[in-house]
Chain A
Amino acid sequence: MGNIAGYRRPMPGTQPNHLHPDYVSSIKRAPNHPLIQIPQTLSEITGPVFDRKTVNVKAFDLTKQHSGEPQGERIIVSGRVIDENGRPVRDTLLEIWQANAAGRYLHKRDQHDAPLDPNFSGSGHTITDDEGRYRFVTIRPGEYPWGNHYNAWRPAHIHFSLFGPAFATRLVTQMYFPGDPLLAYDPIFNCTADEKARQRLVSQFDWETTLPVEALGYRFDIVLSGREATPMGHK
């Protein structure tokens, strides 16, 4: 084990602080005490392995989970999962969830007065290929109001969950859409100090994956923590 390198800690400013008071829910949930830094051990440099048998091969297409077509604008969201060293992260599980085209989640606690869509559940998953590529077919989620502050609206977004190769590389994030005017007002999008890091959460319109007559393409590449060059525990 002593010869296996650990995973890099984030560059300052590129990850949110736990407490971001503009996001009101963080105020009573962020820890008060500073985190205690520990070296990465075998427990942190390993993590759950999911094989292709875990994955429902149809779960990448959120528009085909019911008898009819969902309402809204069909889109293709695709990209690559790579690590900080530029290497593809293969065979890693991605899970997504999102609101429907009207901005409503299929969840008992979502009280937004917008219609549910009987043909859209809003969840999917897939696993990356040998080049780290993934692809989802879905509909563009709607913006929706929330109670964080006066006249608060979340920009359109899709939640992403990824495992990567280790416990240390686990990531949950959100993908946004280019040109969304709500981004400037959203405390969750703006919780990360580094401007470039924020912009990397915004997908790009992608002509190459756009399908004639069928769907617009958006590209969203995801970078997971990469291995240190030197073995862990040996400075």
Chain B
Amino acid sequence: MSLQATSSQTVGPFFIIGCAWLDRAEIAGPGISGERVTIEGRVLDGDGKPVHDALIEIWQANSHGKYAHPDDAQDPPVDSGFQGFGRIPTDDNGKFRFTTIKPGSVPGPDGKPQAPHLAVSVFARGLLRRLVTRIYFPDDAANAADFVLNLVPPDRRESLIAKKAGAAGTLEWNVILQGPSETVFFDI
């Protein structure tokens, strides 16, 4: 049998109505092991204007590099109480903010470990399909050899790596939807 996946349509401007019940800006609760990070930023359009009607979703492994999912057959332990899912709408100024733990490395397509990263979906009015991107961590030695980062032209890699900002443990990462400093988006 060969069916075709249903077409995507925009979330529109009013998705909060249906999605707010599952908002998760605290991805890792107090009892979860790992290095605490706060990630904040803005979603901006091609004119540099804040996008107040965007929704960010995060998917990540735990601090041991294990996904809470049946297809992750690796040995490292699952943290009970850590799902690895985040959902954060932007505010009136296009800002979002969430807290989590830095994930461990997970295997890459070349058999080598990938650098720690968060998988990100961006939804918004005006986006007919979600945009897929990743957040990597600053000063991580594994970034240089990361299979996915190395598929990205060097001058655009910066958009995928969060920057240290303000207080310890706080990182800044922005989503620029369009233009010369556009965030790298992936076709998966």
Contact = CB atoms under 8 A, between A and B. Distances in A.
Interface in A219-235: 222-226, 232-233
Interface in A122-151: 122-125
A8 B5 CA distance: 9
Contact of A44 (B18, B119, B123, B131): B119
A49 B47 contact: no
B129 to A, nearest CB: 6
Given A36-B187, A172-B11, A28 B47 contact: yes
A49 B78 CA distance: 13
Contact of B4 (A18, A41, A223): A223
Given A36-B185, A172-B8, A173-B8, A31 B178 contact: yes
A208 to B, nearest CB: 21
Interface string B112-141: 001001010101111111110010000000
B109 A15 contact: no
A177 interface: no
A23 B126 contact: yes
A165 B59 CA distance: 13
A102 interface: no
Nearest to B134: A43
Which DSSP category, helix, strand, loop or mixed, fits chain A's interface? loop
A18 B129 contact: yes
Interface string B1-42: 111111111111111111111100000000000000000000
Contacts of A57: none
Interface string A19-62: 01001011111111101111111111111110000101001000
Most chain B C-beta atoms within 10 Å of own C-beta, residue among A8, A107, A124: A107
Interface centre among A46, A54, A124, A159 (most CB of B within 10 A): A46
A4 interface: yes
Given A35-B186, A170-B121, A43 B59 contact: yes
A54 B188 CA distance: 28
A184 B16 CA distance: 28
B113 to A, nearest CB: 11
Contacts of A110: 13-14
B188 to A, nearest CB: 5
Interface of B: 1-22, 45-47, 49, 51, 53, 57, 59, 61, 67-74, 83-85, 106-109, 111, 114, 117, 119, 121, 123-131, 134, 147-148, 151-152, 156, 177-179, 182-188
